Amino acid sequence: MSKVDVDVKTARAVGGQLLDWYEQVKRDLPWRRTRDPYKIWVSEVMLQQTRVETVIPYWNRFVELFPTIEALADAPEPNVLKAWEGLGYYSRVRNLQKGAKVVRDKFGGRVPDTPDEISTLPGVGPYTAGAILSIAYDVDVPAVDGNVFRVLSRIFLIEEDIMKPKTRRTFEGLAEFLIPPGRAASFNQGLMELGATVCIPKNPRCHSCPVKEHCRALEEGVQEELPVKEKKKPPRPVDMTAALLRDGDRVLIRRRPDKGLLAGMWEFPGGERVEGLSLEDSLALHLREAFGVTVEPGRLFVQVQHTFSHLQWDMRVFECAITEGLVRESDDVRWVPVGELETYTFPVAHGKVVKELGGLV
């Protein structure tokens, strides 16, 4: 099994002890009260890059607004993005809605129950496919996420880089071998639960681990050194600038392009600092190119930061006055009363500006 040798006796022991522990201590999470594959799918997509505590209210609201595959598939995208606002990584929900449309049109509204078919859905990779198939349909397939990488690397002392595709296949094969027949739903969730609550990244609670007697990393005293993972490059710092343009009680916002970072969301107009120019001059250039107007940046209204996986925005928002020209409204450019901004979907950084404006109303 690619450098990981596990005998059947050990596999059965680990599986049995993990199942017993999970049934005793599992958290009461709303998506664990259903076997609806659609609602489980929603939870798994939300839980990518997001903590459980944050996801719970979002999941409850999302499945209330879009209770079925058909409801999500038929919903206007702005409504779906608004329901997702604050969770970030918006490509997740766009793919979720695309997937819902495929399920509606190609699979008669029923989420596929085979690995080959479910893997054709947009945004559904090996982990998400495994989670849905095992939890909703009791298919004996693995679901290997970051928690599972950590747990298995420690139990079986796997010192290979988990970022490499070959290593990922090793973990998937190992996880599948460990599944007690017919118990994939509880086993997979048990592994995730163990990683989330006991076998945590720093200061793991080894004394509470149900399988500590089998943990080779604990035996060697190297549990905190695993899993082995190549360090990512730090996010690139980017100076951003944006304009707060007023017309009475209205402010100017625009929609971002349909493709690329934060696609289709609304923002206060501006952009990256132009090399060789000050923030104010960069902002004036951006607005001249976007709207054909001349603006005079005034006082700094607010400074906000936001970190993406690859970028770190430092955004300064200036109050501006138009000294020449006129901004015309369109589907993608609007003058909006401050009190109505909450009905639009903004990226987190621009959402902070909206909150600052709200305090002035």
- Under a CB-based contact definition with an 8 Å cutoff, are residues 42 and 62 in contact? yes
Residue 160 within a domain: yes
For residues 176 and 122, what is the distance between their CA atoms, to the nearest angstrom?
24
Which pLDDT belongs to residue 361?
Answer: 36
| Domain co-membership, 153 together with 177 | yes
Residue 231 within a domain: no
Q: Which of 225, 248, 278 is the last residue of a domain?
A: 225
Q: Which amino acid is at 264?
A: G
Q: What is the mean pLDDT of residues 272-277?
A: 96
| Domain co-membership, 169 together with 24 | yes
Is residue 360 scored above 50 in pLDDT? no
| Domain co-membership, 150 together with 26 | yes
pTM of the model: 0.82
Please tell me the least confidently modeled range out of 68-77, 96-105, 162-171, 285-294. 162-171
Residue 81 within a domain: yes
Residue 105 within a domain: yes
Residue 230 within a domain: no
Nearest to 218 by CA among 295, 156, 291: 156
Which pLDDT belongs to residue 1?
Answer: 39
| Catalytic residue set | 44
Residue 69 within a domain: yes
Residue-wise pLDDT tens digits, 85-141: 989 889 999 999 999 999 999 999 999 999 999 999 999 999 999 999 999 999 999
| Domain co-membership, 333 together with 185 | no
| Domain co-membership, 218 together with 245 | no
Which pLDDT belongs to residue 359?
Answer: 46
| Domain co-membership, 208 together with 309 | no
Which pLDDT belongs to residue 25?
Answer: 96
| Domain co-membership, 244 together with 346 | yes
| Domain co-membership, 214 together with 251 | no
| Residue 119 dihedral angles phi and psi, to the nearest 5° | -75, -10
- Under a CB-based contact definition with an 8 Å cutoff, are residues 123 and 95 in contact? yes
| Domain co-membership, 192 together with 251 | no
| Domain co-membership, 333 together with 283 | yes
Q: Which of 190, 225, 260 is the last residue of a domain?
A: 225
Q: What is the mean pLDDT of residues 132-152?
A: 96
| Domain co-membership, 48 together with 168 | yes
Tell me which residue range forms the domain holding 289.
236-358
For residues 193 and 120, what is the distance between their CA atoms, to the nearest angstrom?
28
Residues pairing with 294 in the sheet: 324
| Domain co-membership, 271 together with 341 | yes
Q: What is the mean pLDDT of residues 73-78?
A: 96
